[in-house]
Chains A and B, each alone.
Chain A
Amino acid sequence: MKRVLFFILFNALLCLKTAPAFAVVIKVFPVSNSIHKAISSAHKGDTLFIQKGLYKEHDIVIQKTLVLIGIGFPVIDAESKYQVFLIRSDSVTIKGLQIQNVGKASMTDMAGIKIINAKNVTIENNRLINNTFGVYLQSSALCNVINNTIHSDIKDELNGGNGVHAWKSDHLLIKWNTVSGHRDGIYFEFVTDSKIAENSSYNNARYGLHFMFSHNDTYTHNTFKDNGAGVAVMYSKGVKMYNNDFLHNWGDASYGLLLKEITDSKIEHNRFIKNTVGIHMEGTTRVDVEQNLFQDNGWAARVQASCSGSNFIGNNFIGNSFDVATNGTMMLNTFDKNYWDKYDGYDLNKNNMGDVPYYPVSVYSVVTEKIPSAMILYHSLLTDIMDQVEKVMPTIIPDKLKDNNPMMKKLKL
């Protein structure tokens, strides 16, 4: 019996020796190149606690699974010349760091945290300040970018980078981030099956959110505010946008939401408030726009004749200068059961829907679509007369674009 016990114990000891060492916790202090040294001496699975202080380090390549945790937001400064983290290993976690002053180069995109060909990487609770690109994901999958503050004060907006930039990746989760002052707040190109939720993107030079060729992605509960040109969604299929706020994107080429070549997508329960154009649609196919609020926009929706099979159902249109504009007479899209505050018909059969259809394209919106400078006469006596004449005898407005069942009361969304 004793011998058996001894044998077991001996074996256990052997196991301990041959098996890889247990993950250790390493403390890193702000002395020269300390992060570099700690990473090169660490083993797979180790945790590095980076202590408070200023670290002037750059091009830190992580090629093994490590957890980096900052204590009291240690600052890693790239002196406006270099980039900081390059993650090339799976399952790396970076938490609680402040990464600042990443440099700029013409051929490489320099980023605070760059993830290349990696899976399961988590970037959480970091501050990325004044970087060209904030978090940059390339050919990566299943990565989480959560609760980071990404901000840039750099005024050279033309050459600036994006806050969160993802390229050829899939299954990403971008959540609870605040992005401001970059070129595009969140940028997706060739990114599929990903989720962008509860982020706030504002004061970016171009778009708050911009994605191209990115299929089957979901965007919920985000706020896009005061961006140079709003939000652009292009050349994608299966886009789901729910409960987002598109606020105050004013300017000549600004859109709350710009849709170009979008197929089989859903835009529901969003709020478009105070934009030059709420939604601009071009070349879209089968896009459902349901239960959204369009309020105080210049144009609530601009639906180009190249769109087909798109449905506007159960939306509220309140206080917009123009409800709908279009550039042709063909209309292959449906408007039904929306509430239009400009509707002045009666509901004699008391079914809560107006008895005569509502034509949301006003005559002046047709005129300004063709001659934009005619806007200078908007709200003049002449245009009011034109509007009234057109109501009695429609000749200019596209008669196919109408809502047959305009709601009498504002919808509860």
Chain B
Amino acid sequence: MKSCILIFFLLSAVCLTSCKQQFEPINYGHDACTHCKMTIMDKRFAAEILTGKGKAIKFDDLGCLLKYVKDENFKDADAKMFVADYDHPDAQFLDVRHAIFLHDETFKSPMNGNLAATASEKGANELNAGLHGELLNWIALTK
């Protein structure tokens, strides 16, 4: 009986400490970009990688995320990537695979990635009104 209780406690302890792959909110003005080391300030362009083990890697610009993936040869099949919604920077981050990106030099994003992410093509087109940006999806971006 005693050993049963002990096993139960041990198991629950393992469960509690096991890593959950959960999005970690960015603490703007405090957290630094992993790639360029700059403090993340601009909510519109932030991005995050969640590794399969649940570690959050934060970026101030999607351009930094793309460079990080390339430079570090980041290959983690279970990793999830998120990017801030340009139109709703305080809302939930978008999954990069479902986001539509607009590339335009006038965005002046922190590291000149100049990519704004939107939830839908419609949103991206609305944003593009008056600009001459280029609409991209995640596959085109990572090519």
Which residues of chain A have a CB within 8 Å of any CB of chain B?
A: 107, 109, 157-158, 167, 183, 205-207, 212-213, 228-229, 232, 234, 251-253, 255, 258, 260, 280, 282
Q: Are A229 and B36 in contact (CB under 8 A)?
A: no
Chain B residues closer than 8 Å to A109, beta-carbon distance: 108
Is the Cβ of A252 less than 8 Å from the Cβ of B30? yes
Q: Are A158 and B28 in touch, CB under 8 angstroms?
A: yes
In the complex, what distance in Å separates the CA atom of A228 from the CA atom of B29? Answer: 8
Query: Which among B31, B39, B42, B111 has the highest number of chain A CB atoms within 10 Å?
Result: B39
B98 at the interface (CB under 8 A from A): no
Q: Is chain A's interface secondary structure helix, strand, loop, or mixed overall?
A: loop
Question: In whole Å, how far is B38's beta carbon from the nearest beta carbon of chain A?
Answer: 6
Residues of A within 8 Å of B108, CB to CB, are 109, 167
Selected from B37, B43, B106, the residue in CB contact (under 8 A) with A260 is B37
Give B43-83 as 1s and 0s: 1 = Cβ < 8 Å from A's Cβ atoms: 10000000000000000000000000000000000000000
CB nearest neighbor in A for B131: A107
CB neighbors of A among B65-119 (8 A):
106, 108, 111-112
B15-50 contacts to A (CB < 8 Å): 28-32, 36-39, 41-43
Report, nearest first, the 4 A-B pairs whose CB atoms are least far apart.
A253-B32, A229-B39, A206-B39, A158-B28
Q: In the assembly, what is the distance between CA of A302 and CA of B29, in Å?
A: 22
Q: Given the complex, which residues of B lie within 8 Å of A282, measured CB to CB?
A: 37
Q: Specify which chain A residues have a CB less than 8 angstroms from the CB of B43 in the assembled complex.
A: 158
Q: Which residues of B contact A280 (CB under 8 A)?
A: 37
Min distance, Cβ B123 to any Cβ of chain A, angstroms: 14
Question: For residue B106, which residue of chain A has the nearest CB?
Answer: A107
Known A-B contacts: A158-B29, A232-B37. Give 5 more (CB < 8 A). Answer: A157-B29, A157-B41, A206-B39, A253-B30, A255-B37
Query: Which of chain A's residues have a CB closer than 8 A to the CB of B37?
Result: 232, 253, 255, 258, 260, 280, 282
> Please, which residues of chain A bring their CB within 8 A of the CB of B38?
206, 229, 232, 234
In the complex, which residues of chain B have a beta carbon less than 8 angstroms from the beta carbon of A205?
A: 29, 41
- Chain A nearest Cβ from B96, distance in angstroms: 23
Contact B41 A183 (CB under 8 A): yes
CA distance A157 to B43 in the complex (A): 12
CA distance A300 to B69 in the complex (A): 30
B36 to chain A, nearest CB (A): 7
Closest to B28 in A: A158
Complexed CA–CA distance, A253 and B27 (Å): 12
Other-chain contact of B36, A158, A207, A260 (Cβ < 8 Å): A260
Determine if A253 and B39 form an interchain contact, defined as CB atoms under 8 angstroms apart.
yes
**Residue in chain B with minimal CB distance to A213:** B112
Chain A residue numbers with a CB within 8 Å of B106 are 107
- The residue from A212, A213, A228 contacting B39, defined by CB atoms under 8 A apart: A228
- A360 CB to closest chain B CB (Å) equals 22
Q: Does the CB pair B31–A253 fall under 8 Å?
A: yes
Note all chain A residues with C-beta closer than 8 A to B42. 158
Please report the C-alpha to C-alpha distance between residue A107 and residue B44 in the assembled complex, in whole angstroms. 12
CA of A260 to CA of B32, assembled, Å: 14
Is the CB–CB distance between A158 and B30 below 8 Å?
A: no
State A253–B39 Cα separation when bound (angstroms): 7
